[in-house]
Amino acid sequence: MEEIDRTDRMILSILQKEGRITNLELAERIGLSPAATSERLRRLLKEKIVTGFGARVDPQRLGFGLLVYVEVLLDKTTPENFDRFAAAVNRAPEVLECHMVAGGFDYLVKTRVRDMAAYRSFLGEVLLGLPGVRETRTYAVMEEVKTDAPLPL
C-alpha cells in the first residue's frame, strides 16, 4: 500500500462531502491533471481506502423517524458466541450498524424504525431472538445533533 500524501487527503476530503463531483472538477480543485486525478482515485479504490459511493437519504421522509441505540450484553463472551451473534445481526436488515465494544456490555447496535411500536416489535421479534443475547438497554434518540460527518483529514 502506498503512503497517503497531502493530495490524496485533499481528494478524500472533497469526496466525503461531494461524492458526485466530476473527475474534471476534482482535478481542478486539487491542482492536478484529470488523468493524474483519475489514477489516484483508482488507486484509492483499489486499496480500499475509498470503500464506495452512495446517496444519503432522509430517514424521516421515508418513514424511519425513530433512531435507537441498543446496548447488547451476551450470556457468554466466547469466540463462538461472538461469531454466532455477528452472523445473525448481519442478516437483520433493521440493524444499520453493530459494533463490538469494550466496557460494560458487548455490542452497540444502531437501528432506525418507524416509531416506538415498531421498535418494540423489532426488540421482541428480532433483537432478543439473536443468539446469546442476555440483556439489552435501549436509548431512543430525541434529537440528532451531528450526523454523517466526514473524517477530519
Low-confidence ranges of the chain (pLDDT < 50): none
pLDDT (0 to 100) of residue 2: 81
Task: Specify the CATH class of 6-46 in words.
Answer: mainly alpha
pLDDT (0 to 100) of residue 1: 75
103 CB-contact burial (10 Å; exposed 0-12 / middle 13-18 / buried 19+): exposed
Architecture of domain 66-140: 2-Layer Sandwich (3.30)
pLDDT (0 to 100) of residue 32: 98
Rounded Cα gap, residues 63 and 115, in angstroms: 9
Name the phi and psi angles at 130, rounded to 5.
-70, 150
Residues 70, 108: contact at Cβ < 8 Å? yes
pLDDT (0 to 100) of residue 148: 86
pTM value > 0.85: yes
Domain boundaries, the chain: 6-46, 66-140
